[in-house]
Structure 1
Amino acid sequence: MNLNRVVIDNFRNIAHAEYDLTSRSIFAGPNRKGKTNTILAIYWALTDLLLDGSSDYQSFKPSYIEEAEVSVELVCDTFTLKKVYKGWRPRQQGSGDPGDLQHTTDYWIEGTKYKTQGEAKKALLKLLGTDRQLETSKFDLTRALIDPYYIGQGCDYKTLRSFIVEIIGDVSNEDVFAADPALLMIRDLMSRYQYDPGLAQKFVKQQVAAVKKDIEASEQQVKGLESVQDVDPALLKEAQEALNQIDKQVAGLQVQLSGRDNPRINEAKLQLSDLTLKLAESRTKDMEAVQEHNRQIEAEINRLQKVQQDATWQAQDLIRRRISAENAILGNDQKSASIEQQIAELEARRQERLQEYHTRNAEEYTQPESQKEVCPNCGHVLNQDALESYRSQWEANKQRDLDYIVRQGKQLKNDIENLRFKIEELRKGKVDAEESLPLIKQQIREFEKDAQQAQDSAGQLRKQLSEVVESDQTIALREAVKAAQDSYDNLIKNQQASMADVQAEIQRLDADSVQYHNVLNDHGAYVATQKKAAAMCIQIKAKEDTLIDFEQQSILIDRFLEIKLGLFQRRISSVFGDRVQFTLIKYNLKKGSWDEVCYPSVLDKNTPFEDGSGSEKILTGIYLAECVKRHLGLGDLPYIFDECDKLDTASLAAIPTQAQIITTKVDDVNYNKVTLITA
Structure 2
Amino acid sequence: MELKKVIIENFRNIVHAEYDLTSRSIFAGPNRKGKTNTILAIYWALTDLLLDGSSDYQSFKPGYIEETEVSVELVCDTFTLKKVYKGWRPRQQGSGDPGDLQHTTDYWIDGTKYKTQGEAKRALLKLLGTDQQLETSKFDLTRALIDPYYIGQGCDYKTLRSFVVEIIGDVSNEDVFAADPVLLMIRDLMARYQYDPGLAQKFVKQQVAAVKKDIEASEQQVKGLESVQDVDPILFKKAQDSIVQIDKQIEGLQVQLSGKDNPQVNEAKLKLSDLTLKLAESRTKDMEAVQEHNRQIEAEISRLQKVQQDAEQQAQDLIRRKISAENAILGNDQKIVSIEQQIEDLEARRQDRLQEYHARSAEEYMLPESQKEVCPNCGHVLNLEALESYRSAWEANKQRDLDYIVRQGKQLNNDIENLRFKIEELRKGKASSEENLPLIKQEIRSFETEAQQAQDSVGQLRKQLTDIVDSERTTALKESVKEAQDNYDNLIKAQQASVEEVQGEIKRLKAETLQHHGVLDYHVAYMVTQKKAEAMRNQIKTKEDTLIDFEQQSILVDRFLEIKLGLFQRRISGVFGDRVQFTLIKYNLKKGSWDEVCYPSVLDKNTPFEDGSGSEKILTGIYLAECVKRHLGLGDLPYIFDECDKLDTASLAAIPTQAQIITTKVDDVNYNKVTLISA
Q: What is the CA distance between 1:243 and its match in structure 2? A: 4.6
Q: Given the alignment of the two structures, is residue 617 of structure 1 paired with residue 617 of structure 2, yes or no?
A: yes
Q: What is aligned with 2:641?
A: 641
Q: What is the CA distance between 1:138 and its match in structure 2? A: 0.7
* Contact 1:272–1:481 under 8 Å retained in 2: no
Secondary structure in structure 2 of the residue aligned to 1:151 = helix
Q: Given the alignment of the two structures, is residue 486 of structure 1 paired with residue 483 of structure 2, yes or no?
A: yes
Secondary structure in structure 2 of the residue aligned to 1:659 = coil
1:511/1:284 CA distance change after superposition, 3 Å: closer
- Deviation by residue 1:455-502 (Cα, 9 ceiling, x = unmatched): xxxxxxxxxxxxxxxxxxxx9999899667536535756958999999
Q: What is the CA distance between 1:221 and its match in structure 2? A: 2.0
* Contact 1:257–1:498 under 8 Å retained in 2: no
Q: What is aligned with 2:270?
A: 270
Q: What is the CA distance between 1:564 and its match in structure 2? A: 1.9
Q: What is the CA distance between 1:520 and its match in structure 2? A: 3.0
Q: What is aligned with 1:188?
A: 188
Q: What is aligned with 2:217?
A: 217
Q: Given the alignment of the two structures, is residue 150 of structure 1 paired with residue 150 of structure 2, yes or no?
A: yes
Q: What is aligned with 2:539?
A: 539
Secondary structure in structure 2 of the residue aligned to 1:78 = coil
* In 1, Cα distance between equivalents of 2:176 and 2:479: 74
Q: What is aligned with 1:655?
A: 655
- Deviation by residue 1:191-212 (Cα, 9 ceiling, x = unmatched): 2222222222222222222222
Q: What is aligned with 1:372?
A: none
* In 1, Cα distance between equivalents of 2:558 and 2:283: 54
Secondary structure in structure 2 of the residue aligned to 1:26 = strand
* In 1, Cα distance between equivalents of 2:237 and 2:642: 97
Q: What is aligned with 2:549?
A: 549
Secondary structure in structure 2 of the residue aligned to 1:10 = strand
Q: What is aligned with 2:120?
A: 120
Q: What is the CA distance between 1:592 and its match in structure 2? A: 2.2
Q: What is aligned with 2:578?
A: 578
Code of the residue aligned with 2:613 in structure 1: it is S
1:64-103 equivalences under 5 Å are 64-103=64-103
Percent identity over the alignment? 86
- Deviates further, 578-587 or 655-664: 578-587
* In 2, Cα distance between equivalents of 1:33 and 1:15: 12
* Contact 2:284–2:525 under 8 Å retained in 1: no
- Deviation by residue 1:77-136 (Cα, 9 ceiling, x = unmatched): 111212222222222233222222222222222222222221111111111110000001
* Contact 1:10–1:68 under 8 Å retained in 2: yes
Q: How many residues align?
A: 496
Q: What is aligned with 1:15?
A: 15
* In 2, Cα distance between equivalents of 1:504 and 1:60: 123
* In 2, Cα distance between equivalents of 1:270 and 1:517: 15
* In 1, Cα distance between equivalents of 2:90 and 2:250: 123
Q: Given the alignment of the two structures, is residue 169 of structure 1 paired with residue 166 of structure 2, yes or no?
A: no
* Contact 1:265–1:488 under 8 Å retained in 2: no
- Deviates further, 587-596 or 26-35: 587-596
* Contact 1:268–1:484 under 8 Å retained in 2: no
1:667/1:610 CA distance change after superposition, 3 Å: same
Q: What is aligned with 1:626?
A: 626
* In 1, Cα distance between equivalents of 2:106 and 2:519: 104
- Deviates further, 263-272 or 207-216: 263-272
Q: What is the CA distance between 1:595 and its match in structure 2? A: 1.9
Q: What is the CA distance between 1:244 and its match in structure 2? A: 4.9
* In 1, Cα distance between equivalents of 2:519 and 2:61: 100
- Deviation by residue 1:50-92 (Cα, 9 ceiling, x = unmatched): 1111112222222222333222221111112122222222222
* In 1, Cα distance between equivalents of 2:518 and 2:480: 25
1:239/1:72 CA distance change after superposition, 3 Å: same
* In 1, Cα distance between equivalents of 2:69 and 2:608: 42
* Contact 1:643–1:663 under 8 Å retained in 2: yes
Q: What is aligned with 2:675?
A: 675
Q: What is the CA distance between 1:273 and its match in structure 2? A: 2.0
Code of the residue aligned with 1:661 in structure 2: it is I
Q: TM-score, normalised by structure 1?
A: 0.66
Secondary structure in structure 2 of the residue aligned to 1:108 = strand
1:37-436 equivalences under 5 Å are 37-244=37-244, 264-277=264-277
1:132/1:517 CA distance change after superposition, 3 Å: same
Q: What is the CA distance between 1:508 and its match in structure 2? A: 7.1
* Contact 2:28–2:675 under 8 Å retained in 1: yes
Secondary structure in structure 2 of the residue aligned to 1:635 = coil
- Deviation by residue 1:175-202 (Cα, 9 ceiling, x = unmatched): 2222222222222222222222222222
* In 1, Cα distance between equivalents of 2:252 and 2:102: 123
Secondary structure in structure 1 of the residue aligned to 2:216 = helix
Q: Name structure 2 gaps, 5 residues minimum.
A: 289-471
Q: What is the CA distance between 1:148 and its match in structure 2? A: 0.3
Q: What is aligned with 2:379?
A: none
Code of the residue aligned with 1:19 in structure 2: it is Y
Q: TM-score, normalised by structure 2?
A: 0.66
* Contact 2:269–2:488 under 8 Å retained in 1: no
Q: What is aligned with 2:376?
A: none
Q: What is aligned with 1:522?
A: 522
1:652/1:70 CA distance change after superposition, 3 Å: same
* Contact 1:3–1:76 under 8 Å retained in 2: yes
Q: What is the CA distance between 1:629 and its match in structure 2? A: 0.6
Code of the residue aligned with 2:610 in structure 1: it is E
* In 2, Cα distance between equivalents of 1:110 and 1:235: 115
* In 2, Cα distance between equivalents of 1:477 and 1:594: 60
Code of the residue aligned with 2:162 in structure 1: it is S
Q: What is the CA distance between 1:646 and its match in structure 2? A: 0.5
* In 2, Cα distance between equivalents of 1:512 and 1:103: 114
* Contact 1:30–1:671 under 8 Å retained in 2: yes
- Deviation by residue 1:37-60 (Cα, 9 ceiling, x = unmatched): 111111111111111111122222
* In 2, Cα distance between equivalents of 1:16 and 1:505: 134
Q: What is the CA distance between 1:247 and its match in structure 2? A: 5.9
Q: What is the CA distance between 1:524 and its match in structure 2? A: 2.3
Q: Given the alignment of the two structures, is residue 664 of structure 1 paired with residue 661 of structure 2, yes or no?
A: no
